[in-house]
Structure 1
Amino acid sequence: MTKILAISSVAILLLASLFFWQRDKHPAEMPAASSKKILYWYDPMHPEQHFDKPGKSPYMDMDLLPRIAGEKMQGEGIRISPAVVQNLGVRVAKVERIPLSTEIDASGLIGFDEREVAILQARAGGFVEKVSGLAPGDIIAKGDAIATLSIPEWTAAENEFLAAQADPSLKEAARERMRLAGIPANDRREIERSNQAFSSFTLRSPLSGVIQSLEIRQGMNISAGQTLVRINGLSRVWLDAAVPQSRSNEVHEGDRVSARIFSGETVEGKVEAVLPVMSEASRTVKVRISLPNPDLKLRPGASAQVRIGHSARKTALAVPSEAIISTGKRTLVMVSRGGGRFVPVEVNAGEEIGDRTVILSGLHENQEIASSGQFLIDSEASLAGVMAHGHPAKEMKP
């Protein structure tokens, strides 16, 4: 047993000696990370930017990488010769910040402006002596006669006023009684001017519009508070547009509106209100638009095609839509690094505005991208094994 232990000890000593002899003989084969010189730190998405110390990238939520002397940087992409670039017809464009001025197309129905309405009621009991030749749906002008009414209470107040002419205090009290009885101001002035009472009174329209309801007929009795006529004005109308719920937050009060009506004409107006209730059936939000109607061409009940556009309240980064490469799983653009070098970069794309596509993340302002020939560059990058950068960066603020 003692002999076996001795032999084992000798073997271990021999192996240890061999290890240290090999290490001293080939020192260059051992790792020597500490001897490598770090030139600077960089973001692989933006290798042109150099930093003198490690940390987080100002462009992306990732750590900066060291640029080691003699090593190739990550993110250099694929390089294409100027002749190939010319043959492919590659053009570059800058990532620009544009105003978010969008337009929404919707359909709507024209209706009455419910703020321009007159409801005429009887202020005292009486009866209808005469009704003008009117009916619901008729157009009526401001001041037109609607009916002639006989109201005994008003006649009594008039006679009391005329009898009190000699006494100033009584006269003033009688004048106030006529006002409280509901006699119109024009009739009160006419009584004072002519110094005589009227046995009947003319009911007149207070505004121009269309008669919605006419609840009086010749010879019928009326009571205080009874609704006699309802008139809707037509100088302005409402256009209620149905905006999809997905875009309802883009519409604001005061936004400009262009409405194409049934006659083919276009009328300009503005959004008056975005109503708070959503239609359960169509999943749309009603947007109320106020339109001028001086020629009465806008008819309540008619349909119209609406285009809503709002002035720019925000800006966003955008690229030409033709620069976008959509694979079905992700969206790429080819970022130019200069000297014919391109890097595929994954981006989050937003809505299209004209011929531009909004970029939500992945790029920053003034970067150059391939706006044509990018599909061929992408093919070259795939053949060369160049991978697109993932984890799109948050949009850089100007």
Structure 2
Amino acid sequence: MISYKSFIIPAFVCITAAVACGRPEAATPKENGTLDSVIRNVTTAPVTAEEETDYTKLNGKIQANEDHQAKVYALASGKIKSVNVALGDKVQKGQTLAVLQSMEVAANSNDVALAEANVTITKKNMESTKDLYDGNLATERDYLSAKVEYNKALSELNKAKQVQSITGGSNSLYELHAPLTGYVIEKNITANSEVRQDNNNQLFTVADLSNVWVIANVYESDISKIHLGDEVTVTTLTDPNKPYTGKIDKIYNVLDPATRTMKVRISMPNPNNELMPEMFVTVKVNGKPTGNMLSIPSQAIVLDDSKNFVIVKDTGGLHIKEVQLIKRVDAKAYVTGLKQGDQVVTNSQVFIYQALSE
């Protein structure tokens, strides 16, 4: 039997007066008026039967989709002349991110100019030698030698142009361009700083954030509950009331020995760029339904002496009923000890509970 104490609203003043008889002073009209006012303005919520779905709660964060991002390195050493973008800026493909002054680029430009001049000279020499050869004033060997020198000059020019096309730039200026349209999510240079070609750190990272990754950590005890293709609900600290839905599309079958966690990935569409890299998120992995359970607002529960109680309102008044709490899920509590349709008090319930318990 579930123990409960009942209380009928019309009799409330009588009971309060009776209890007060044993005290030095009776309750004042102001005190009774306050309690009556609370009872008149009490709000309730119905007990509902819901199909409860078991879930696993994970913590994670947003990362840029590695398939939709590009890291920008300098292919030549030099000094930063100007930085044209800031962290978080949106850039278009081909847009100049920064400009360097580089001796290497200047040397490449000089090599191209020298190679072009050498091609011009060797070409004229070959043509003159051919005329002499046609007039029997030069040997065939002289003509073939001039032709070889011309071809060598063409090869050197082609090589110099290829080097210039790889490093980019002209004269002494080297420009870093955005390889794709997106946002600058990493920036590691400032104006007037020096850049070395052998530096392993990227200068910029540009990412298309229309699709991002949610990387979540799975504790060792929960690994058996996680499967490829499981549907998930993702919420952020920025707006906990706005859920994003997705599916687990990759499981990293490696356990981090330090944290004892395994990582999973959810690819998440992000058309409005609301999900930003490094945001912390909560991921709920939905499981199989476990059947109907009685649900009430969590705030309706009053904890007293390690037991859980609610205030039930019916035609007879207000009653205290003990309930067994199965679990809490966000703003809901799943309980036993009530009937579907019962009305539980959801405001001032602690105050009313104390009054009914006297």
Could you tell me the TM-score, scaled by structure 2's length? 0.46
* RCO higher in structure (CA 8 A, sep ≥6): 2
Whose radius of gyration is greater, 1 or 2? 1
Identify the structure with the greater helix proportion. 2
TM-score by length of 1: 0.42
